[in-house]
């Protein structure tokens, strides 16, 4: 998902499949030339953590407003079907359909109103001024994007019309320079939610209306006048953009610079561990603020100070207070008696509808036990673009589903040239999700201490014989970080593979500890790192360079340094109790479900009581 535009807080549900009710063989592809203009969501959180607003599933198949009849004796005959005729005939309500063109939208009152609201907002912000196009200057086009924003329960929240610049026509060096805009890390979000569950903090959600319009452009950018709203008195003039606009390559960075430069005036500080996390310390406690493009989470122990911060932000920006946090970037947050329950059930449901897998037979595990995919096994899959689209959507689902992390990690390795067998593996993941649609993570109150599990599957990949590192970090009993990732080099022994996994996990623990210190969360005990390989544990304690480890890079011995300084304690755990085992290989169903339980995965109490 491209970072050119933010995800709305009302229906932020990043899914990378476009079109209505597609089948596996007929999901339409967004043309490459329009890919950036159609982007409506922030950057992905996991490699592709570029979440986009979930495309609306049409109540009926899309209709061509100007269908053509062929094969007639007199040649081609065009049948004009007008919107009024469709509405009078009771075909369907056009307000429930996202228009494909602005000409169609202009004929539907609810969409026309949305377009006028967008134009009024642009004018009120002083987004552009009409000027003649200077010589040798590039002219950027623009288009209308229409979205039906929905609540978590699927009900319509509002109709949104967005004027988007065609950023793909911008020229580097002339129309834009630096474009990178940081977004909050998924682990940081989970840590803050776990702390809120532990301390009972109130979680508030804010949304910035027309966020990108607050960013000030440093470059000269000229854009064509909005289609359907051209100035009749000056039709030949163009818009010189003074503020950033959705679709521009530098728009996310311009908005981020504008917002993050204002927060220090309110007393906030940010950490180098995550530049999208801001903390304000006051006598009554702390205020924590997370920024994900234009979606904001604010929490902390200083309740009165939180209200002051919201008021200050409302004065400076057009802020919409959405109240208690329930739906954020496709995550459904339910408040329970014991803490929080995080799930993405709506996201899963919409994904199954898009792929026409709602009637598929569920399976017990997301991949076959101890089975690995081969690079050139079978025949090439006929639609690589659709393969990438579905796998990209599954990547974002790992935000709350560590149980599919390894399976998604496997299918992600064949994005370039997927085979039919790879797509079969993707369908198995979807079948597993069909049976576990309402699964999520429970965050409960408890003691605050850091524990982690590290595991490796030595030379498990048959294609290049690299090992897979699996790690999971707990804050108390709550999992806050997990990863399934192939190691960068080939390990010569099981011990070396496990030792490399230990080093990666210890680095993650160190980063999380720095984050907690910045948020004034005391961790009295030293973190404990569990490993099921005695030789790797011995290497982490023993400062003597053994013959079998002299080829290992210096940075891998990071874990030994932390153990020597008593900042980390490495402890043995049996393979049956190795929670990270689920992140390194496919497991049998009984062992897989045991580890899911260990990772606090399951149904919420309400769903259990309701018999879901």
Contact 270, 277 (CB under 8 A): yes
Tens of pLDDT, residue by residue over 38-61, are: 333 333 333 333 333 333 333 333
pLDDT for the residue 144: 93
Question: What is the value of pTM for the model shown?
Answer: 0.77
What 3-state DSSP class applies to 92? coil
pLDDT for the residue 39: 36
Q: pLDDT at residue 554 above 70?
A: no
Instruction: List phi, psi (to 5°) of 578.
Output: -85, 100
Quote the percentage of the chain above a pLDDT of 70. 81
**Mean per-residue pLDDT for 572-583?**
91
**Mean per-residue pLDDT for 96-113?**
89
- Radius of gyration from C-alpha coordinates of the chain: 26
Distance CA 413, CA 409 (A): 7
456 φ/ψ sector (left φ>0, alpha ψ -120 to 50, else beta)? beta
- What's the number of CA atoms in the CB half-sphere (13 Å) around residue 377? 13
**Mean per-residue pLDDT for 555-575?**
85
Distance CA 181, CA 250 (A): 9
pLDDT for the residue 558: 76
pLDDT bracket for residue 21 (50, 70, 90): very low
Structure tokens that stand for 531 in this block: 């490993």
Long-range contacts, stretch 274-283, CB < 8 angstroms, 24+ apart: 274/184, 274/185, 274/188, 274/515, 275/182, 276/182, 276/183, 276/184, 276/185, 276/188, 277/184, 277/188, 277/192, 277/515, 277/518, 277/519, 279/518, 279/519, 279/520, 280/305, 280/309, 281/520
pLDDT bracket for residue 72 (50, 70, 90): very low
Task: Name the CA dihedral angle for 573, 575, 580, 583, rounded to a multiple of 10 degrees.
Answer: 170
Q: pLDDT at residue 17 above 70?
A: no
Tens of pLDDT, residue by residue over 172-217, are: 888 888 777 788 899 999 999 999 999 999 999 998 887 877 788 8
Report the Cα 171 to chain-centroid distance in Å: 28
CA angle, 522 then 499 then 503, to 5°: 35
Q: What is the mean pLDDT of the chain?
A: 81
Distance CA 19, CA 58 (A): 9
Intrachain domains 187-209+253-340 and 443-598 with the same fold: no
pLDDT for the residue 92: 58
- Regarding predicted confidence, which is higher, 494 or 70? 494
DSSP state of 95: G
What 3-state DSSP class applies to 16? coil
pLDDT for the residue 549: 63
CA angle, 24 then 25 then 28, to 5°: 95
CATH 3.30.160 fits 187-209+253-340, yes or no: yes
Beta bridge partners of 504: none
pLDDT for the residue 535: 87
pLDDT bracket for residue 98 (50, 70, 90): confident
Tens of pLDDT, residue by residue over 287-329, are: 999 998 888 999 999 999 999 999 999 989 888 888 999 988 8
pLDDT for the residue 553: 64
Domain boundary assignment for the chain: 68-95, 187-209+253-340, 342-439, 443-598
Instruction: List phi, psi (to 5°) of 40.
Output: -130, 20
Distance CA 415, CA 240 (A): 40
pLDDT bracket for residue 97 (50, 70, 90): confident
Superfamily of domain 443-598: Ribonuclease H-like superfamily/Ribonuclease H (3.30.420.10)
Q: pLDDT at residue 75 above 50?
A: no
Structure tokens that stand for 551 in this block: 């080829």
């Amino acid at each position: 998902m491209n970072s050119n535009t933010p995800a709305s807080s009302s229906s932020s549900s990043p899914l990378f499949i476009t079109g209505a009710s597609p089948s596996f063989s007929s999901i339409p592809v967004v043309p490459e030339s329009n890919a950036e203009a159609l982007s409506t969501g922030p950057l992905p959180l996991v490699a592709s953590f570029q979440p986009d607003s979930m495309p609306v599933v049409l109540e009926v198949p899309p209709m061509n407003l100007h269908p053509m009849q062929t094969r007639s004796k007199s040649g081609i005959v065009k049948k004009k079907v007008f919107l009024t005729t469709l509405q009078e005939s009771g075909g369907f309500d056009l307000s429930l359909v996202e228009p494909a063109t602005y000409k169609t939208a202009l004929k539907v009152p609810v969409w026309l109103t949305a377009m006028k609201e967008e134009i009024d907002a642009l004018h009120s912000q002083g987004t552009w001024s009409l000027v003649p196009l200077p010589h040798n200057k590039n002219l950027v086009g623009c288009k209308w994007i229409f979205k039906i924003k929905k609540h978590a329960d699927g009900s319509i929240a509002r109709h949104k019309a967005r004027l988007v610049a065609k950023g793909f026509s911008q020229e580097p060096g002339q129309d834009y320079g630096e474009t990178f805009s940081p977004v909050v890390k998924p682990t940081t979000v989970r840590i803050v939610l776990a702390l809120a569950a532990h301390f009972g903090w109130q979680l508030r959600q804010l949304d910035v209306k027309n966020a990108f319009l607050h960013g000030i452009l440093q470059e000269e950018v000229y854009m064509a006048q909005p289609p359907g709203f051209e100035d009749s008195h000056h039709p030949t003039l163009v818009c010189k953009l003074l503020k950033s606009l959705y679709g521009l390559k530098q728009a996310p960075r311009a908005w981020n610079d504008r917002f993050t430069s204002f927060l220090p005036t309110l007393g906030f500080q940010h950490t180098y561990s995550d530049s999208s996390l801001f903390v304000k310390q006051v006598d009554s406690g702390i205020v924590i603020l997370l920024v994900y493009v234009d979606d904001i989470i604010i929490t902390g122990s200083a309740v009165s100070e939180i209200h002051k911060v919201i008021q200050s932000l409302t004065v400076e920006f057009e802020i919409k207070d959405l109240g208690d946090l329930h739906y954020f970037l496709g995550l459904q947050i339910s408040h329970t008696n014991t803490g929080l329950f995080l799930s993405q059930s709506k996201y899963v449901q919409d994904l199954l509808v898009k792929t026409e897998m709602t009637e598929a037979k569920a399976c017990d595990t997301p991949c076959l036990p101890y089975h690995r995919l081969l690079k050139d096994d079978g025949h090439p899959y006929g639609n690589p673009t659709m393969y990438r689209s579905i796998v990209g959507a599954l990547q974002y689902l790992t935000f709350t589903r560590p149980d599919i992390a390894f399976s998604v990690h496997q299918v992600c390795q064949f994005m370039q040239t997927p085979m039919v067998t790879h797509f079969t593996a993707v369908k198995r993941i979807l079948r597993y999700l069909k049976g576990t649609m309402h699964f999520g993570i429970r965050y409960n109150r408890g003691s605050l201490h850091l524990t982690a599990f590290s595991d490796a599957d030595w030379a498990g990949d048959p294609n290049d014989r690299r090992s897979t590192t699996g790690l999971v970090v707990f804050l108390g009993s709550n999992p806050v970080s997990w990863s399934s990732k192939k190691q960068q080099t080939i390990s010569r022994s099981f011990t070396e593979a496990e030792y490399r996994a230990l080093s990666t996990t210890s680095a993650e623990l160190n980063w999380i500890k720095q984050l907690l210190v910045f948020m004034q969360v005391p961790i009295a005990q030293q973190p404990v790192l569990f490993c099921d390989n005695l030789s790797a544990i011995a290497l982490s304690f023993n400062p003597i360079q053994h013959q079998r480890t002299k080829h290992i890079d210096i940075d891998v011995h990071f874990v030994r340094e932390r153990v020597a300084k008593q900042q980390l304690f490495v402890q043995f755990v049996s393979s049956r109790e190795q929670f990270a085992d689920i992140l390194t290989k496919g497991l049998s169903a009984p062992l897989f479900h045991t580890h899911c339980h260990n990772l606090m995965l399951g149904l919420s109490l309400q769903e259990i009581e309701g018999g879901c």
